[in-house]
């Protein structure tokens, strides 16, 4: 499989996430991104020191700048098994 590049349509899949009310939800990637400009990035070990201190902060710090350039959503994901181990 070729690497995903800027502007590509990513393969669809189902993701699980907690909404603003801490309720577990599921949705397809395509439904979350439909009609939007989305940044989708993954971290290898959610809630680990490296991911929490090195990977994620840059996106948080630049969120407003990215949104001012037309980005609608910034979605971070990790392996479900890693998340379950931590939670």
Distance from C-alpha of 10 to C-alpha of 5, rounded to nearest angstrom = 9
Q: What is the pTM of this model?
A: 0.69
Distances (CA, A) of 70 to 14, 45, 74: 25, 29, 11
Decide if 83 is catalytic: no
Catalytic residue among 51, 76, 83, 84: 51
* Other beta carbons less than 10 A from residue 21's beta carbon: 6
Following DSSP, what letter does each residue of 46-60 receive, concatenated? TTSHHIIIIIHHHHH
pLDDT tens per residue across span 18-33: 788 988 889 998 998 8
**Average pLDDT for 60-78:** 90
Of 6, 65, 59, give the one whose Cα is nearest residue 37.
Answer: 6
Give the per-residue pLDDT at 56.
Answer: 78
């Amino acid at each position: 499989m070729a690497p995903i590049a800027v502007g590509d349509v990513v393969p669809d899949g189902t993701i699980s996430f907690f909404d603003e009310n801490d309720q577990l939800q599921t949705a397809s990637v395509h439904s979350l991104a439909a009609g939007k400009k989305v940044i989708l990035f993954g971290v290898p070990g959610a809630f680990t020191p490296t991911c929490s201190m090195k990977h994620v902060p840059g996106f948080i710090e630049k969120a407003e700048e990215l949104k001012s350039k037309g980005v609608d959503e910034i979605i971070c994901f990790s392996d479900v098994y890693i998340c379950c181990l931590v939670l």
